[in-house]
Amino acid sequence: MRSRDTHLEQFSTFAFLEGDRVRHWIPDPRLRRNMQKCLTDANAPGDQVSDTIWALYWYKIWQEQQPQAPSKTTPKPTAEQHLAAYLQEICYWTAQKTAQRFPQLEFTLADYFQLSSAETARVLKSFNPQFGSSLKGYGSIVLTNLLKDYLRQRRAIDVCSDWSLLRKLSQKRVMEVLVHAGVNPGEVDEYQFAWVCFKTIMVPASPEADLDKKQKPEANLWPAISHLYNSKRAQQISPSSPKLTAEQLETRLSKLTRWSREYLYPRSTPSTKPNRARSKGRSRTVWPIPWPPPYSMPPSKKKPSRSASSTIATPEPPLPRPLGNSMAPPRKSCACSTKIACPSRTSP
């Protein structure tokens, strides 16, 4: 993998994967223009301001750009997109180490890379520069733990039989599964009560260790589940609720287990069926990557022209510099649109 040597690349490009390798870096035009403007305003050679200082600079801006009431439709702050680009190498190396550590699993390096790239926001939320660690070092630890937790949960769900999974669900989770599956509202109560009857009969009859090994309940238990359901349905659901045979209950509960797996552990974003792109008469595997990046770009706003006599807002104190003030160049005027002082500035 070719490393990104300039700050312009580090904070404005995203990895393009072919198979398990990064072939090249794709620039985001808007991030590139924004970063180029900041570098120009800083007016400092690239070796005088380290990438760690720039990361802290964008992190401080990201903190101030956080919406008060974020939602799924809220665009990602520009600073968060710069930091997501900055952490691309960490996402890749973390994915590579995880793939090498668990070669027996079905996931590929591209899968782990996608999962890591989707969790950069969680890295920023828990990062604290006051502790002295760099964003890359901290991000490597957090992303590694997040991938391990995901695999631990995924493997735990895979070792359970369908009926063990059904027994371990809570009533709240069953409702979420049914709503997500789009079940007819008139049948939701029937599915829920069938699940209650299943747990009532199965838990005393089959200990957890035995139930995990079973593919399905014993044949003599289904009539008992059906009898409990039909005898209590008028009280628990409605008097007009139809009776269900043992076979009908088994079919409904089988659907519920399938919906539960799909809801709790959906397949990762990268498809296991790679796209095929032809180049020079040969076919090559092209894995989906976060491009366009999964960070929605805020609409560009035209700023009014600023006359020479216009005053510039007084900048706030600069970010803490763990590497020392010797890393910063002399103070330069900066036309950066943000109120945060550029890394080239020093305290007045």
Q: How high is the mean pLDDT in each 10-residue block of the chain (348 residues)?
A: 87 90 92 92 72 92 80 78 95 93 84 92 92 90 91 69 81 92 89 92 59 65 91 88 91 91 65 38 36 40 44 43 43 49 53
Provide the pLDDT for residue 190.
92
Q: 118: Cβ–Cβ under 8 A, 6 or more apart, which residues?
A: 269, 294
What is the radius of gyration, based on Cα positions, of the chain? 27
The amino acid sitting at 59 is: Y
Q: Are 277 and 284 in contact (CB under 8 A)?
A: yes
Helix axes of 78-86 and 51-64: crossing angle, nearest 10 degrees? 150
CA distances from 157 to 128, 150, 168, 216, 339 (A): 34, 11, 10, 16, 48
In whole angstroms, give the CA distance from residue 254 to residue 261: 11
The whole-number pLDDT of residue 67 equals 73
CB 46 within 8 A of CB 14: no
pLDDT, position 226 = 92
